[in-house]
Structure 1
Amino acid sequence: MLSFGRFVTCTIAALSCLSLVYCEKYKFCMVDGKGGYMKSGRYCPNLDIAESKVECVVALDRLDCLRRLSKGTADFSVFTAEDLVTAQNSKIEVLVTNELRYNAKDNYEYEVVAVVNNNAGIKSKHDLKGKRFCHPGYGYETDWTRILANYFEASVVTPSCDTDLTITENRIKATAEFFEASCKAGPWVNNPSLNIQLKQKYAHLCELCGNPSKCSINDEYWGRRGSLLCLTDGAGDISWARLDDVKTHFGLQSGLVPDQYSLLCPDDSLMPLTAAEPCIWVVKPWPVVASRRSVAQEIQEIVSSLSPNVTGWRQSVLKLLETSYTVVKKVDSVEPIESYLHRATGFLSANSFSGCHPPRTINICTTSIIENAKCAWMRESAAVYGLEPDLECIKADNTTHCMVALNQKAADIVMVPSDLVHRAEKEYNLTTLFYETVNVDEKYITVAVTKPESNIKTFADLRGKKACFPVYDGVAWNTVKKVLFDKQLIKNCPLEKEITNFFGPSCTPGLPDNLSGSMKKTCQEDTFNGEFGALQCLSSGAGDVAFVSRNSIKKFVSSENENSANSKLKIEDFKILCESKTKPCHLSWAPLGQGMIRNNSTDLWKKDTLDVFLRLDNLFGKSYQSLTTPFTMFGKYDGKSDLLFHDATIRLRSVATSKDFDTMVYPYKDFLNVDTMCINSNASRISFNGYVLLFIAAVSVRFCFN
């Protein structure tokens, strides 16, 4: 049934065109997944026909769809239960219209229970201390979030709040002190070296595993069925498991007697495994179709009409809605998120467990309103997937102000582009916690660029030439300073002054007045600032050489040709200076960005923070494991690129290389000690000259006395 407003609109349109048509289609917010789940290209075009009641709006991720519903630019979409919690926390109103189920009879995607061995003497939660615990482990978070994985322990174990330990280690310690032994296989944290350290320190949490020394996802007791095998093999006393797996396990395993095992209930009672209504600790609701309030009834009618035998545009809508869920179940009456989730046993409780007091918070510094907005959605996503410590987003005007905020302890971490890293270390006492690693072509690869007709063949030929730098004290500036020093084209300290004397009238935006000499004479700050500015400086004839990142050349040419009808620039209009046929032509390379923190941060704080960002990457980065991603860390936000992180980022790592076998030469970090090298070199020269003078004096004295 059409709402009154839509009825009036359609009636007017019908009178004007003398045909009754659906004048306005409902906008389905579509999120493409990976591989076979990239469906928009296959099915969205089928909705363009006139009789279709639905059209596609393609979004970047599921939370992007939530924002579109909130703004009214989309009408409905598919969301997980975690997405609904995020919507509730963000005060976005949507109504649940339908569930997407594996089968019609199960009210929830899964229900989680605690199974005990009757011989262990467990009658209530109070009897659990000192028992042996079988846990499914970690490493398949798309099916089993940390919040649900840890719900049992959060319910029965007294939390540890040792201020000398990370939040993760506090949880591990509390479990280790509560149970006699356990099997909790898989990665406890995302930092491999820290994971090994923790497993060595709390080894009895791996004691029940098939291979305690490894305690990995390859263990026989890891995973959904693994925790039940751990129990029924006699290794453990209690298992935390999905009810559907319990039914399968005890139904298929010959020789097992269900009477030997019981369900431990949250109300401290026991129940037979065969109980008609088993006691559940927590459930995972099905994915749902949710819509804006104004069209919820109409959306429910359309979605409820979909079945495996539909054809035409309806079949395409069904294909777009489905993932691995094939049964569309109508919710009895469209309802708000709060009431829908309230019926899900334990789910809201699991998402509201409080941590230690005072809580630990990582304050992320952002540099614009839109970047702060993206950060806020990342914070909400982190919360519903159980990441700790909590995140908070603090806005400053620019990266420099963020570095000041870190230095003054008003913020904890900021993403710093490579051009500002040296300044961050030198002026604000910051250090790198992790790097944005990218494919080789996306790195900042410093090259010297000239024009094809140039007679510049070597770096020595650059003396007196007009140079174009993107910025003072950036990657290109510090690289060229080191290269000139290594080639002994500049020798005397301070090198900053030497480099200004080496080049002729040039442009280096941000160059201090006390250094400028003739280097600022060709500068037009607004025009020649940054990578594109340096290339504009070169292409306009103001400069003879530009020092930029190799990957910026193609982007610059494309941008110039797009923005100027008269531009006819080609890649061939630029030539990379290469002195050797046997050595690489690039001068240095650097990551695109780095997460930087205070240099005096404690090891504990570094571990907590690094673990959070590596887990964020694991959940919301390029290698996300779910069918579609709830939040995109490395990609556009509301149509804008390179917010908070660079779009090209492949993953975050505590080392600068994208892979362990990435052996690209001339890393930029090795170029930042050139001033110290100059001082030491001069000191050695002075020392050597001093010895020579002393030797001559001694010989002279001896000669005189003789």
Structure 2
Amino acid sequence: LDCLRRISKGKADFAVFTPEDLVTAANSEIEVLITNELRYTENDYEYEVVAVVTDSSGIKNRHDLRDKRFCHPGYGQESEWTRILSNYLEASIIPQSCETKYTITENRIKASSQFFKSACKAGPWVHNPKLDQKLKLKYPNLCELCDYPSRCQNTDKYWGRRGSLMCLTDGAGDVSWARLDDVRIHFGLVPGGAESTPDGYSFLCPDGTVKPINSTNPCIWVVKPWPVIATKRTVAQDIQEFMSTLNNVDSTSWQGAMLSLIEIFHLSIYKLEPIEPIESYLERATGFLNANSFTGCHPPRTIRICTTSNIENAKCSWLRESAAVYGIEPDLDCLKADNTTHCMEALNNNAADVVMVPVDLIAPAMKKYNLQPLFYETVNDNEKYLTVAVTKTGSNVKKLEELRGRKACFPSFDGVAWNSVIHTLHEKKLLTSCPFDSGVAQFFGPSCVPGLPRNYSRSLKKNCGGNYSGDFGALRCLLDGSGDVAFLSKNAIADFVKSPIENKFGNIKLDSFNIVCEDKSEGCHFSWAPLGQAMVRNNSSELWMQDTLDVFLQMDSLFGKNYKSLTTPLQLFGPFNGQSNILFHDN
């Protein structure tokens, strides 16, 4: 989707897009033209999805599916089946349930459980393993047809593309939801390892009819179009002609290198005639637009994410569109505030639902704005916020108690460093008075604690003569001589040294600083913390928390570090528009 933005801004001419990307582009009203398809077979679509029934079941139309046995390909193969296509049959035939006492996901599961007599829907129903197991125990008939019903996992015999057909022809089910290319192989209509004869099986059609399996004109419920080349209007003809020349090139030439960049499974670059816009292209794809336009529950259960800048809001908006295209529910909305504090106020006033809170605002979020964590960003150990005490090289301070009477620099009041130091001083019995905040003022000399409330000791803000807020501010405070020690994240030191703004002349080195460390075997940090947390209202219901957490877990699976497809449409954790740490941290 970064490529889509670049094309829309005139910074790129063409790119490869999936059909899901095209839906996002259409919903975002970005104009691009489609010039070529990237095919690895001669079929018109990457795949077509059909419903196959046993003749003995008596199924003649969609209404006959009630109380029948359903063989479903299952979940956990998103690179081949998006949830929207996987759930298309059920979304088409089962009345939607929107009971407020259930999550959206459980409403769908419950409706399927009540509609079908039994089923095999193996694999993860939700991305939370404990909740997944709980739902499978609650609706066991949806695992009843599986080879191992008690497990109902993606290792089951009846899981996967061919698994749903095995379920049908083994006699376990009455109807199978499957890809047409797999059906043809399974029933021996094309070479490739037949598992059954076509006798006794038919296609169930969306129009309420049935056709024999060996029909030359099978009825299709929904298709997935091929990946395409899309471009801006002004160069569409030139791009199409150039792409069409790449079909028979020497792999060692620059054209061959170009081909290897845009195609993974190369057979042919198919020329679209005429070149056409997204809307008309997708309208020809049976069921595909319908699959992306089923109505949601009313009133909607939209999750409102609060952002703090234009670029955060832009990334959130793209995330919203991408999540919708991949069938993630509930849907998202993006609301912009001036800063994180205003976002926390918005949550407290029920004007927003989720905000990403940096590490130093976690405590105020909980104490002042009645928020609680929904999840935190996990990072490698070397990326965590590790609170350390830093002095300038040459300082003779070796132990924490030797800092008594010294000038201290903190990133903020009530942040991780502040609370970690208070906790450590208390543990070491170095605070002589209560409340502990007063004890800190007595332990240290004149110091700087940005954001300190007015009713606190003046000595703790006496040395705040410069812009000393944040980790970099604490280091500036130390270097300016306003402090003898700075408490901050260990990782901030290297970032400060590398910063062209903070270290414009390059005279500050890593060895300009010393970390106070009493026992290196136990680590030199006071505490560790994740870089950020998603926070929600303290009075949020468990049901809403489950719904919301599952949305972010699904986005992590599709757009996060461990996405399963060849490419990801959007990087959840990565640069956005050339800027780092937007909405989520890159690492």
Question: TM-score higher than 0.5 here?
Answer: yes
Does residue 555 of the first structure (1) align with residue 495 of the second (2)?
A: yes
CA distance in 2, matches of 1:160, 1:491: 61
Q: Which residue of 2 aligns with 1:573?
A: 512
Does residue 542 of the first structure (1) align with residue 482 of the second (2)?
A: yes
**CA displacement 1:177-198 (0-9 Å, x = unmatched):** 0000000000000011110100
Pairwise CA distance, 1:517: 2.2
- Supply the AA of the counterpart residue of 1:492: S
**CA displacement 1:529-588 (0-9 Å, x = unmatched):** 1101111211232211110111111111121687422x4122112111112254322100
SS at match of 1:428: coil
Cα pair distance change 1:586/1:234, threshold 3 Å: same
Structure exhibiting the larger radius of gyration computed from Cα positions: 1
Q: Which residue of 2 aligns with 1:346?
A: 287
Q: Which residue of 1 aligns with 2:15?
A: 77
Does residue 599 of the first structure (1) align with residue 523 of the second (2)?
A: no
- Supply the AA of the counterpart residue of 1:556: F
Q: Confirm or deny: 8 A CA contact 1:433 1:594 kept in the other structure.
A: yes
Cα pair distance change 1:511/1:133, threshold 3 Å: same
Select 2:228's aligned residue among 288, 311, 318: 288
CA distance in 2, matches of 1:562, 1:325: 49
Select 2:246's aligned residue among 306, 310, 314: 306
CA distance in 1, matches of 2:541, 2:404: 47
Q: How does 1:291-440 map to 2 (within 5 A)?
A: 291-310=231-250, 312-440=253-381
Q: Which residue of 2 aligns with 1:587?
A: 526
CA distance in 1, matches of 2:520, 2:210: 78
Q: How does 1:196-275 map to 2 (within 5 A)?
A: 196-251=133-188, 256-275=196-215
CA distance in 2, matches of 1:261, 1:407: 58
Q: Confirm or deny: 8 A CA contact 1:561 1:568 kept in the other structure.
A: no
- Supply the AA of the counterpart residue of 1:210: D
Q: Which residue of 2 aligns with 1:487?
A: 428
CA distance in 1, matches of 2:167, 2:254: 49
**CA displacement 1:232-261 (0-9 Å, x = unmatched):** 001110000000000111115667331210
Unaligned runs of 5+ in 2: none
CA distance in 1, matches of 2:326, 2:451: 43
Q: Confirm or deny: 8 A CA contact 1:501 1:517 kept in the other structure.
A: no
Pairwise CA distance, 1:429: 0.5
Q: Confirm or deny: 8 A CA contact 2:387 2:528 kept in the other structure.
A: yes
- Supply the AA of the counterpart residue of 2:543: L
Q: Which residue of 1 aligns with 2:78?
A: 141
Select 1:177's aligned residue among 100, 114, 123: 114
CA distance in 1, matches of 2:387, 2:194: 66
Q: Which residue of 1 aligns with 2:583?
A: 644
Q: Confirm or deny: 8 A CA contact 2:51 2:178 kept in the other structure.
A: yes
- Supply the AA of the counterpart residue of 1:259: D
SS at match of 1:437: coil
SS at match of 1:324: coil
Q: How does 1:18-97 map to 2 (within 5 A)?
A: 63-97=1-35
- Supply the AA of the counterpart residue of 2:463: T
Pairwise CA distance, 1:618: 0.4
- Supply the AA of the counterpart residue of 1:615: Q
Pairwise CA distance, 1:477: 0.3
**CA displacement 1:136-176 (0-9 Å, x = unmatched):** 00001121101000000001111111110000000000000
Q: How does 1:605-620 map to 2 (within 5 A)?
A: 605-620=544-559
CA distance in 2, matches of 1:403, 1:629: 31
Pairwise CA distance, 1:459: 1.4
Q: Confirm or deny: 8 A CA contact 1:467 1:504 kept in the other structure.
A: yes
**CA displacement 1:280-314 (0-9 Å, x = unmatched):** 00000000001101111111111111113346332
SS at match of 2:246: coil
Q: Confirm or deny: 8 A CA contact 1:467 1:506 kept in the other structure.
A: yes
CA distance in 2, matches of 1:452, 1:73: 47
Q: Confirm or deny: 8 A CA contact 2:60 2:210 kept in the other structure.
A: yes
CA distance in 1, matches of 2:386, 2:516: 13
**CA displacement 1:461-490 (0-9 Å, x = unmatched):** 111100010111100000001111111111
Q: How does 1:91-130 map to 2 (within 5 A)?
A: 91-103=29-41, 105-130=42-67
Percentage of pairs with the same residue: 63
Q: Confirm or deny: 8 A CA contact 1:560 1:569 kept in the other structure.
A: no
CA distance in 1, matches of 2:245, 2:203: 40
CA distance in 2, matches of 1:540, 1:487: 29
The number of aligned residues is: 583
Q: Confirm or deny: 8 A CA contact 2:375 2:549 kept in the other structure.
A: yes
Select 2:87's aligned residue among 143, 150, 155: 150
CA distance in 2, matches of 1:395, 1:254: 56
Q: Confirm or deny: 8 A CA contact 2:32 2:231 kept in the other structure.
A: yes
Cα pair distance change 1:75/1:357, threshold 3 Å: same
Cα pair distance change 1:152/1:561, threshold 3 Å: closer
- Supply the AA of the counterpart residue of 1:132: R
RMSD across aligned positions (CA)? 1.3
- Supply the AA of the counterpart residue of 1:87: A
Cα pair distance change 1:270/1:553, threshold 3 Å: same
SS at match of 1:165: coil
SS at match of 1:422: helix
Q: How does 1:523-538 map to 2 (within 5 A)?
A: 523-526=464-467, 528-538=468-478
CA distance in 2, matches of 1:109, 1:210: 30
SS at match of 1:518: helix
Cα pair distance change 1:301/1:310, threshold 3 Å: farther
Unaligned runs of 5+ in 1: 1-62, 649-706
CA distance in 2, matches of 1:227, 1:510: 61
- Supply the AA of the counterpart residue of 1:445: L
Q: Confirm or deny: 8 A CA contact 2:387 2:488 kept in the other structure.
A: yes
- Supply the AA of the counterpart residue of 2:441: T
CA distance in 2, matches of 1:66, 1:517: 54
SS at match of 1:543: coil
- Supply the AA of the counterpart residue of 1:543: G
SS at match of 1:208: coil
Q: Confirm or deny: 8 A CA contact 1:561 1:569 kept in the other structure.
A: no
Q: Confirm or deny: 8 A CA contact 2:335 2:352 kept in the other structure.
A: yes
